[in-house]
Structures are given as structure tokens and as C-alpha cells.
Amino acid sequence: MTIIKIKEKLETLLQYADSEITHTICSKNNTFSLSYSKELKNFQLKNIETGHIEHFPDVEVTSLALYKIISTVEKEFTE
């Protein structure tokens, strides 16, 4: 997935900030959930296995973090 597509999806999440939407990203070793918190005004990326949550302030920073995760996932499935 390109970084442009990731940004588009994040912008969509912002448009529906009044709703509770969660995206799930799975790899061989980890599963992540992505959501937007209207109260905290940030994106939250949670590692389901460890429970660790990272907060990202905007689309730019969040898209870079997701791109790294998704690129790793795509690489795992092509190997």
C-alpha cells in the first residue's frame, strides 16, 4: 500500500471522528489496531499482543508509522 493511500484512509478516519472505527493490521508476529480518539485528538496504534499503545498527533506522522508496519507485513507475505 502506498503512503498516499494510507493518508487517504487516515483522512477518512478523521472525517468520521464522531464514530468509533478501528482498522486492524495483521502480520506473522503482531496484530495492530488503529483508531482515532476525538477526545485526545490523536491517532492510537495498539499492539494487540503486548497491549502497548502509541499516540500520533497527525496524519503525516501516523502515515509514516503505518507505512513501516504495512511494508513489513507485505514483505513477510512475499517471502
Q: What does 14-70 look like in DSSP terms, one character per residue?
A: HHTTTS--EEEEE-SS-EEEEEEETTTTEEEEEETTT--EEEE-SHHHHHHHHHHHH
Chain mean pLDDT for the chain: 88
Give the pLDDT band (50/70/90) at residue 29: confident
Q: How much is the pLDDT for 65?
A: 92
pTM for this entry: 0.82
d(C-alpha 37, C-alpha 43), whole Å: 6
pLDDT tens-place string over residues 30-53:
899 999 999 999 999 999 999 999
Across the range 20-24, mean pLDDT stands at 91
70 against 15, higher pLDDT = 15
CATH of segment(s) 3-78: 3.30.720
